[in-house]
Amino acid sequence: MIQYALRCADGHEFDSWFQSAAAFDALSGKGLLACATCGSTHVEKSLMAPRVAASDRSEARPLAEPASPLAKAAAALRKHLTENYDYVGHDFVAQARAMHLGEAPERSIWGEARIEDARALAEDGVPVAPLPLLPARKTN
């Protein structure tokens, strides 16, 4: 795993973890990275200091601990969503539209949508909001 400091075209800075440098390049090349603040897909690496492990393990901070207030807020949001909402993945747009049209029972959902599809939902009066989260990835 590798952590990069990132910056969007609007100057928002945030950190994110990637499986490898190649994984970052692949996601970036496909436009699948989004700013945690504004949702912009124009994201690139920012300057960052190297992370050096402490010589005494008791001084090292656990990797799972969110480092910034934004990371802590994102973790709390993810916890709230997973406990109270149904994750529908890439089926979000279809399910949100079906609920809005009365074709499916209403329930609290969250998932993934391309920015164009989310804008179309909003323009059609479907109540949606972008979240500063990426879906949890399963790793071995």
Cβ pair 43, 35 in contact under 8 A:
yes
Beta-carbon neighbour count of residue 94 at 10 Å? 15
pLDDT tens series, the chain, 140 aa: 788 888 888 888 888 888 888 888 888 888 888 887 888 888 888 766 666 655 555 555 555 555 678 778 878 888 898 899 998 989 999 999 999 999 999 999 988 888 899 999 999 999 888 887 765 655 44
pLDDT at residue number 11: 86
**Comparing C-alpha atoms, which of 41, 39, 17, 38 is closest to residue 30?**
41
pLDDT at residue number 92: 93
pTM of the model as a whole: 0.49
